[in-house]
Amino acid sequence: MRTDLGDVDPGPKPLSPGYKVVMFGLLILGLLWIIVYYLTQGLFPIVQIGGWNILVGFGIALVGFLMMSRWSE
């Protein structure tokens, strides 16, 4: 039995190798941002925004988590 190969969906294209690097980099950067904020008692990374540093760290990590939803081997 013959099938038409033009109608076959090849599936999602693999992502570039740098995708994983950026994804894990953002996850680690967000975590480090929050850790540095707590360890320095608010003196770093950005003093002027105070407690909003936690939100910045979670935001950076959230972008990494959103990238994880597109990741496939």
The encoded tokens of residue 25 equal: 């980099």
How far, in Å, CA of 4 to CA of 42, rounded? 63
Cβ 25 vs Cβ 63: under 8 Å: no
pLDDT at 73: 66
pLDDT at 21: 95
One-letter identity of residue 67 = M
pLDDT at 53: 96
Residues 6+ apart with CB under 8 A from 59: 30
Cβ 60 vs Cβ 29: under 8 Å: yes
Query: What are the average pLDDT values for consecutive 10-residue runs of the chain, which has 73 residues?
Result: 64 84 97 97 92 97 95 71
The encoded tokens of residue 67 equal: 């990238």
pLDDT at 3: 60
pLDDT at 6: 64
Residue pointed to by tokens 């935001």: 59
